[in-house]
Amino acid sequence: MADALQNFIDGKWVDAADGERFDVFNPATGEVIATAPDSKQADVDRAVASARRAFDEGSWWPGTSARERGRILLRAAEIVRREHDRLSRMESLDSGKPIADGQEDIGEVAFMFEYYGGWATKIEGDVQQLSRDAMFMVWKEPMGVAVGITPWNYPMMMATQKLAAALAAGCTFILKPPEQTPLTCLELPKILEEAGLPSGVLQVLTGFGETAGAPLVAHPGVDKVCFTGSREVGKIIMRSGADTLKRVTLELGGKSPNIVFPDADLDAAFEGSANGIFWNQGEICSAGSRVFVERSIYDDAVNAFADRATSERLGDGLDESTTMGPLISKEQQERVSRYIEIGTSEAKLAAQGSLPSDPRFEKGYFVAPTVFADVDNSATIAREEIFGPVMSVLPFSDLDEVIEKANDNEYGLAASVWTNDLKKALHAARALRSGIVWINDSQPAPTEMPWGGYKQSGVGRELGKQGIEDFLERKSIYVNLG
Ligand code: NAI
Ligand code: MG
């Protein structure tokens, strides 16, 4: 029997008001591993009422001292560490990712609680003396009821980076986890309750985007929405949030360039470039999906990437010899396979890895890692976010040309630059229109570092100090001392 999961609303574990549920799958086998509440407007209304009460009757949460808020988050970090193995396995089972990656994610979840637990006591305002008789203060206050709507590629991390910052700031929080991977998100209320979080401060309700997510965004009782997911849904959220002038932050993925110059440490550059698109099955918002390689090393690069694609071992994430798991859902498998078909007519198919042979995985959502060479920057596979293990390799001749091409895309989340020439690296970093630039690396996203996009990759920043600032309002208080 699959686990029957429940929502956490107003401090209690409950089913959806209408009792409906949906299935949660193991993406490696297609088997149902759990069912979860199919929440709708009535459940949203109850969650918002509870979060509102916990915020407005302030003695519960914003009325708690910053030290106490910090301590609760630090205790949550300890509990996540204690449960590390169990949570990592759960994350790997639910999302399909290799267990080593699941372990890394959960380790970072613990640190996120620790990091924002530390910030709780360091929220400071400003004071300025204008003249002998006049001064003003700027107080920072929590925005109110915050909603997090999150995706399935890093289920527990994406939720925690929002809620730990929001709770440190003194907001109350409602989480709508992804319908594909609700398991670890529903562990969060248990962890925080044990850590001492007062009832009503955190609500988690599962359900689909249009029926559970959309009513949260439109709800007049919600002050702030923090979203990670597709650009398409980001635009819907911005539009629907406009009616109530919600504070909205969006992280919407990208089509990130990865640029390799011939003066780089080429072994590291080729391996790092391959990791940038094959890690997490390519289901990474900042994946280096457009790999630009200077012409003199282009053939060597394509050969190295082809070797890598054909040596990936696809299988069950919980099997330690697996290097690449399945995609998250049948829908994503079909979507990515469609892009591979389009790519075959637009560019040269340089290599494709193999699917797992074990019949156990027949109904799993696997897609073979694929390398396309000689891709034109205007091709569909070079313009659109694929969100799978599909690499496009594009040749270039000089710095100006590659920067122009790298910037010629509607997205602007991240970029990698591989070179040992520091001046060239920093010149490129300045010229790239993206929120994150890695020099001689790809994908590190430390919790301390602000994260977010330029252009159509998003609005606002998560993580780092900015991650907490985006849950705080500023109140200016002018004082006439005369
Ligand atoms: P999605 O954007 O539809 O889902 C993300 C979250 O938004 C989920 O919790 C979903 O339930 C919710 N949602 C969906 N529609 C909503 C609505 N109208 N109002 C409020 N909430 C809503 O992403 P999906 O369909 O899972 O994946 C499609 C594509 O999106 C992927 O192929 C990829 O290109 C991109 N994506 C980007 C991510 C990123 O990290 N930036 C993460 C996941 C997907
Ligand atoms: Mg969707």
pLDDT, residue 2, reads 78
Please tell me the predicted confidence (pLDDT) of residue 1.
58
Q: Which two tokens stand for residue 27?
A: 């993406």
Has 251 been annotated as catalytic? yes
DSSP one-letter code for 200: T
pTM score above 0.95: yes
Q: Cα–Cα distance between 433 and 410 in angstroms, integer?
A: 10
User: Given its phi and psi angles, is residue 449 left (phi above 0), alpha (psi -120 to 50 degrees) or beta?
Assistant: beta
pLDDT of residue 60: 65
What is the DSSP secondary-structure string of 224-256?
Answer: EEEEES-HHHHHHHHHHHHTTT-EEEEE-----
Q: Is 250 in the pocket of ligand 1 (CB under 6 A)?
A: no
Q: Are 276 and 377 in contact (CB under 8 A)?
A: no
CA of 386 to the centre of ligand 1 (A): 13
CA angle 72, 78, 83 (to 5 degrees): 125
CA angle 434, 252, 157 (to 5 degrees): 100
Q: Which of these is catalytic: 114, 283, 285, 346?
A: 285
- One digit per residue, pLDDT tens: the chain, 482 residues? 579 999 999 999 999 999 999 999 999 999 999 999 999 999 999 999 999 999 998 766 778 999 999 999 999 999 999 999 999 999 999 999 999 999 999 999 999 999 999 999 999 999 999 999 999 999 999 999 999 999 999 999 999 999 999 999 999 999 999 999 999 999 999 999 999 999 999 999 999 999 999 999 999 999 999 999 999 999 999 999 999 999 999 999 999 999 999 999 999 999 999 999 999 999 999 999 999 999 999 999 999 999 999 999 999 999 999 999 999 999 999 999 999 999 999 999 999 999 999 999 999 999 999 999 999 999 999 999 999 999 999 999 999 999 999 999 999 999 999 999 999 999 999 999 999 999 999 999 999 999 999 999 999 999 999 999 999 999 999 999 99
* pLDDT value for 214: 98
- Torsional class of 414: left (φ above 0), alpha (ψ -120 to 50), beta (otherwise): beta
Query: Which atom of ligand 1 approaches the CA of 149 most closely?
Result: 9
237 alpha carbon, closest ligand: 1
The verdict on the CB of residue 217 being under 6 Å from ligand 1 is yes
The predicted pLDDT at position 23 comes to 98
Separation of alpha carbons 96 and 92, rounded Å: 5
Residues in the chain: 482
Query: Measured from the CB, is residue 284 less than 6 Å from ligand 1?
Result: no
> Residue 263, exposed/middle/buried by CB under 10 A (0-12, 13-18, 19+)?
middle
Among candidate residues 242, 63, 14, the one with its CA nearest the CA of residue 4:
14
Concerning whether 185 is annotated as a catalytic residue, the answer is no
Q: Single out the catalytic residue among 251, 283, 385, 462.
A: 251
Q: From CA 190, how far away is CA 364, in angstroms rounded?
A: 31
70 lines ligand 1 (CB under 6 A): no
Residue 149 CA to residue 251 CA, distance in Å, equals 11
Instruction: Say how far apart CA 369 and CA 215 lie, in whole Å.
Output: 38
